[in-house]
Amino acid sequence: MVGVFLPPPIFNIKKPFMAKLKAAGLSHVFSYENEALQENRQFEESQSAQQTAVQNGVTYRVFKLTDTTKKGKYHMEGVDDIWNPNTKRMERIRLLNGFPSLSIDDQKHLDKVYVEKNRRSLIFDARILRIPDWDTSAIEFLEKSNANIDNPHKKGTRKLTFFEWNPRRQAEVERKKRIAKVEAIKFASLASVEEMKKHANYLGINFIDELGFPKSDEALRNDYELYAEAQPNKFMQSAGSKEVEVAFIVKKAILDNKIDLHSKQGSAYWAGDGGFICKIPGTVQAKDYLVEYAMMPNDESQQFLTQLKKLQLS
């Protein structure tokens, strides 16, 4: 028997990273410990699923619950109301032992006693359900189920959902995660100080340290890179965007008292001459709405943005 080396649990590796996030005031950004535990558990379950995907010459389709905290056994009733893309209507399906069709319409002639004795439920044990490839009715039911997150025709929501375990797809997902993280950290490390500050402001990274002193550019860069590592997709969604630039100059105008948000509640004015800018809905933060307003295509919004840029240069 060949020994298999397994790396130490992921949650033991990543605790120092979570500590760094907390020290930087970024613990709200991402719960890395929870993700680490989840990844570790998914790895262990994937190993188990892989080992049992083929037994005694029989190939199994493996399905897994998406809820990584679920323990023990979960019984899923073999009944569902699904959308039929061919008939363009909702139809009920039911899984029965010894009857090939799932359609309730095809089961109408069956004796009620037979139906009650042969109704099937599918059991996920430790989040995993294995179905032999010859059990085509169960596989069809799972593929059509609204609880299957990969079903393109699913309707409604389910308390518990599942997916079919696919090692190739899982590898692709993990690779995409790694690439996203590398790209985000690279952007964070190469961004100019000015770009970094504007983006950090947009992301809500604190410019003040725990003792109340302004962070140095180096300290801010550390926190900026930590954010990129913790939330690469969210980081890259706004990196280099026009909204980041607009958010920065709006916030600067407010901090420099160039925009008056206090003279009249629910309205924004230019300070000094009191020129009206726009009304602020009570349901949103003034800064956030002004950013949204500055990016609208109408003439008033474009004039507001032009004036903001002039103030930035003055």
Average pLDDT over residues 42-50: 53
Angle (CA) 100-125-173 rounded to 5° is: 90
Q: Is the pLDDT of residue 14 over 60?
A: no
DSSP code per residue over 144-213: H-TTBTT-TT--S--SS-EEE--HHHHHHHHHHHHHHHHHHHHHHHHS-HHHHHHHHHHHT--SB-TTSP
Predicted pLDDT of residue 258 = 92
Q: Residue 228's pLDDT band (boundaries 50, 70, 90)? A: very high
Is the model's pLDDT at 3 over the cut of 90? no
In whole angstroms, give the CA distance from residue 26 to residue 240: 21
Q: Among 210, 289, 183, which residue's Cα sits nearest to residue 246?
A: 289
Written as one letter, the residue type at 200 is A
In the three-class reduction of DSSP (H, G, I as helix; E, B as strand; rest coil), residue 80 is classed as: strand
pLDDT score of 27 more than 80: no
Token representation of residue 291: 């950013």
Per-residue confidence (pLDDT) for residue 12, from 0 to 100: 43
pLDDT tens digits for range 270-285: 988 778 999 999 888 9
Q: What is the DSSP string of 205-233?
A: --SB-TTSPBPPHHHHHHHHHHHHHH-HH
Contact indicator for 43, 25 with CB cutoff of 8 Å? no
φ and ψ at 307, to 5 degrees?
-65, -35
Distance CA 93, CA 156 (A): 16
CB atoms within 10 A of CB 305: 19
User: Quick check: 11 pLDDT over 50?
Assistant: no
Phi, psi of 77 (to 5 degrees): -65, 140
The partner residues of 131 in beta bridges, in order of sequence, read 61
**Residue closest to 239 by CA, chosen among 256, 220, 224:** 224
To which residue do tokens 């059990």 refer?
135
The 10s digit of each residue's pLDDT in 70-129 is 889 999 999 999 999 999 999 999 999 999 999 999 999 999 999 999 999 999 999 999
pLDDT exceeds cutoff 70 at 13: no
| pLDDT of 185 | 96
What are the tens digits of pLDDT across the range 142-191? 999 999 999 999 998 888 999 998 888 878 888 999 999 999 999 999 99
**Residue (of 219, 85, 254, 234) closest to 155 by Cα position:** 85
